[in-house]
Amino acid sequence: MVFSRASGILLHPTSLPSRFGIGDLGFEAYRFIDFLEQSDQKIWQILPLGPVGYGNSPYMCYSAMAGNSLLIDLDSLCRQGLVTLDEIAYPPSFPIDRIDYDLVRSYKLPLLRKAYDRFKTSATPEQQQAFQEFCQHSASWLDDYALYMAFKQHFGDLNWFEWPEPIAKRDPAELAKWRGKLADEIEFCRYLQYEFHGQWSALKQYANDRGIEIFGDIPIYVAQDSADVWAHSEIFCLDPETGLPTEMSGVPPDYFSETGQLWGNPVYNWDMLRKTGFKWWIQRFKAILEYVDLIRIDHFRGFESYWSVPGGDDTAMNGVWVEAPGREFFLKLREELGELPIVAEDLGVITPEVEALRDEFGFPGMKILHFAFDSGPDNPYLPYNYRTPNCVVYTGTHDNNTTIGWYEERGSDPNQWVWNYLGCSRGEGLNWDLIRLALSSVADRAIFPMQDLLGLGADSRMNAPGKATGNWDWQMHPNCLTEDLISRLRFYTGVYGRTPARPDHSESN
């Protein structure tokens, strides 16, 4: 896919400011899009939008296709008359720079339940029709997800493979009986997805009308405890009796870890997926493309070959490389969808075979400036070594430290190479030096985390891989999007030839 020269910002919606404890799809999201437009940015990159479970990781969701109901804007529900001003007038004293997920759930979920109860009795015929049309349109994933979440609530949040056996194994008669018993809870789950989808679609349209693309993310694997694995167990490597993985995902031992990384997700039964014409994967891409314009595939190399660890192992040491039918899959996906708006996350140890798969389909790869200064002049992440403009350059990603945090943890000696490369600073801070380096590179797309624009330190990083708790909870302070920040970002975007042509939206919204 051919991209124009442009730049953008990585900020997950949960990190937007909000008086309701977590970023949402309301005023601050629209304000952020206005900030992007005013500063001549064309891309808003986000993390997966799915409903988060234990650990609150957007990469371990209860569904690969549903939306996170915690993102639903309460002010919008108030304007619809589904919650009252009194009910949202005095929210708890939420932290100003961190998301307290437990407190957010205890506050928002009862209000979402009230909104649903009122929707049942007060929805107009047009709203009822829109709800039914959404449910029909999304039935391929929504029906299983709503039933799964209803069971999760009924069984006290147990994993699906701990449910009574007839339900865990999806006995048709048993499921039919429970659909009747849990009908209201199922409908509540459907309503939340309807509301999320409506709010997100309006927000995405607002961005697109201003020439801004939403850049989303597909994790290659899904959580073991998810509606997808429960409803489609045949396409995963599972023990048919226990429902546990017989083969697990991860990466092999390397310089950074003697035992490798054991992720624990079930790997795919690619033979079964091939027999279905990759139906589930195609449905997944179609569903995600309703949310976003461009997709980053996390762990892209797993489509060429993946590290398969025996089920039950405690480390990734005993895994083996298994070939995956990535070329066959992407040919089928292109046949279904046409030109594929995909970026390949090709970081780490990448083989010539993975590069060949990426290049055959023209997928841009990724370049990370934080990785550029740990070896000599041949380092592939140094901008003068970029062999093609068909790539996306980042200062760092959501898995990296902030640029200020990265610089401070390196110490003085390694940072001499950084200064030798960057030359004389304009005195705006190392974060802006790296932002300018990204913008000035030949890469078609340049993206930087919001934390780097704000010059924040290590305590504001989004995720520290391998750290069990305390991730995914960074929240931006209100009033950070200043005129000075807009002017500076717009200036450098223009200096380095990334200013977009904007559509005329003088009569919109």
Structure tokens at 35: 């900030």
Distance CA(59)–CA(399), nearest Å, equals 12
Residues in Cβ contact with 418 at an 8 Å cutoff, skipping those fewer than 6 apart: 373, 407, 410, 430
CB 45 within 8 A of CB 292: no
Backbone dihedral angles phi then psi of residue 7, each to the nearest 5 degrees: -145, 170
Distance CA(200)–CA(19), nearest Å, equals 19
Burial letters 377-407, b for 16+ CB under 10 A, else e: eeeebbbeebeeebbbbbbbbbebbbbbbbb
Catalytic residue among 144, 217, 298, 346: 298
Strand partners of residue 45: 10, 215
Catalytic residue among 34, 171, 174, 399: 399
* DSSP conformation class of 482: -
Distance CA(231)–CA(145), nearest Å, equals 8
Structure tokens at 496: 């380095």
CB 266 within 8 A of CB 236: yes
345 catalytic? Reply is: yes
CB 40 within 8 A of CB 494: yes
452 catalytic? Reply is: no
Nearest in space to 282 (alpha carbons), one of 235, 326, 332: 332
Nearest in space to 75 (alpha carbons), one of 63, 88, 62, 64: 88
Catalytic residue among 73, 144, 345, 473: 345
Catalytic residues: 298, 345, 399
